[in-house]
């Protein structure tokens, strides 16, 4: 169905998505997650990009971005209900103009959502990012989150960023068998698409499995957000780089939140920022 506004005919899908984007903007502002005066913040730019896609008629990509905004908002509300003391820290980092902080909190929200879905109780000592209680044990499991990113497209093989992240984190005091390291690679996956060496999760595992296994962490995983064009939603995918002698508590968390298996999104797009 088409609606006429002046001399323009606009599909009802366009109007529906514009309404969803308006709802998302209002929810983010009311929750204190969006400061429209910070035009250079990644979250503000994400809203602007979504608006531009709508204006240009790129409805499939616009819908993916808008649905992602709404899904991230629901993740935030879930964390807010469970651990309201964490909300102020997440809010500040979501509004920041520092891209590394913004990406870091996105990774933490994804992990927190996964833990809550599986009914794990946790705190956020920072560092590491999560201390997780498991039934039947007085010992805790831990997860540290990090993200790797570049600010622009590059002809370089960006997989070096993942090795750098592992090497940096392995020097920390929490690098032990009871701790899992989760690396968000969404940004470098996106920027690698324009290079001669687009990244592939299987290739990343082949290249860095030995480094991950010898890092001292009980497990090292990469995660990436992908837009599923067919189902019109975003999915957080993960790949084990290594699981080596994890503590029983960490193994329990991995079995429930990041189990072994093969997962794929046949018709996928990688977001620029998530």
Provide the pLDDT confidence category of residue 263 given band limits of 50, 70 and 90.
Answer: low
Which one is predicted more confidently, 140 or 152? 140
Asked if residue 201 and residue 72 are part of one domain, the reply reads: no
Residues 41 and 115 in one domain: no
- Tally of residues, the chain: 274
- CA–CA separation, 217 vs 208, rounded Å? 13
DSSP state of 143: E
Instruction: Indicate if 165 and 242 belong to the same structural domain.
Output: yes
Q: Is 272 a residue whose pLDDT tops 70?
A: no
Q: What is the largest CA-CA distance in the chain?
A: 69
Tell me, what DSSP letter sits at residue 238?
A: E
User: Which pLDDT does position 210 carry in this prediction?
Assistant: 97
Structure confidence by residue, pLDDT tens digits, 62-97: 888 898 898 889 888 888 888 777 777 788 888 878
Q: Token match 């920027």: residue?
A: 191
Q: Are residues 137 and 255 in the same domain?
A: yes
Which domain, by its residues, includes 115? 98-274
For 70, phi then psi, to 5°, come to -70, -35
Does residue 153 sit in the same domain as residue 85? no
H or E element in which residue 182 lies: strand 179-184
Of 77, 97, 117, the last residue of a domain is 97
Final residue of a domain: which of 66, 81, 97?
97
Q: Kindly report, residue by residue over 210-245, the tens digit of the pLDDT.
A: 999 999 999 999 998 887 777 767 778 899 999 999
84, 174: one domain: no
Final residue before a domain boundary, out of 56, 78, 97: 97
DSSP, collapsed to helix, strand or coil, labels residue 126 as: coil
Whether pLDDT at 208 is above 70 = yes
Q: Report in angstroms the alpha-carbon separations of 79 from 43, 124, 166, 259.
A: 19, 12, 27, 22
CB 50, CB 21: distance < 8 Å: yes
- The two tokens of residue 202 are 């299987």
Question: H-type helices in 56-185, by residue range?
Answer: 59-82, 87-94, 99-117, 160-169
Peptide bond preceding 117 in cis form (omega within 30 of 0): no
Q: What is the pLDDT of residues 2-38, one digit of tens each?
A: 444 445 556 778 888 999 999 999 999 999 888 878 8
Q: Using CA atoms, how far apart are residues 49 and 243, in angstroms rounded to an integer?
A: 38
Amino acid 60: pLDDT: 84
Percent of the chain with pLDDT over 70: 88
| pLDDT of 79 | 85
């Amino acid at each position: 169905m088409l609606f006429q506004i002046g001399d323009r005919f606009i599909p009802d899908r366009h109007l529906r998505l514009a309404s969803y984007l308006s709802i998302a903007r209002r929810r983010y502002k009311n929750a204190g997650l969006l400061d429209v005066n910070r035009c250079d913040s990644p979250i503000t730019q994400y809203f602007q990009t979504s608006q531009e896609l709508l204006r240009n008629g790129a409805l499939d990509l616009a819908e993916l971005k808008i649905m992602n905004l709404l899904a991230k908002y629901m993740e935030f509300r879930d964390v807010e209900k469970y651990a309201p003391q964490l909300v102020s820290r997440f809010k500040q980092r979501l509004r920041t103009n520092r891209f590394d902080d913004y990406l870091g909190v996105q990774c933490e929200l994804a992990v927190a959502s996964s833990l809550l879905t599986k009914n794990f109780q946790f705190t956020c000592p920072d560092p590491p990012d999560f201390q997780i209680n498991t039934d039947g044990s007085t010992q805790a499991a831990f997860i540290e989150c990090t993200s790797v990113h570049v600010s622009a497209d590059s002809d370089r093989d960006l997989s070096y960023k993942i090795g750098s992240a592992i090497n940096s984190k392995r020097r920390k005091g929490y690098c032990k068998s009871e701790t899992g390291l989760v690396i968000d690679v969404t940004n470098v996956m996106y920027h690698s698409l324009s290079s001669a060496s687009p990244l592939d999760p299987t290739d990343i595992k082949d290249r860095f499995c030995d480094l991950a296994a010898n890092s001292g962490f009980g497990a090292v995983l990469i995660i990436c957000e992908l837009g599923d064009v067919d189902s019109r939603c975003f999915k957080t995918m993960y790949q084990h780089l290594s699981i080596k002698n994890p503590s029983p508590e960490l193994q329990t968390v991995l079995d429930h939140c990041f189990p072994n298996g093969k997962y794929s999104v046949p018709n996928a797009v990688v977001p620029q920022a998530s």
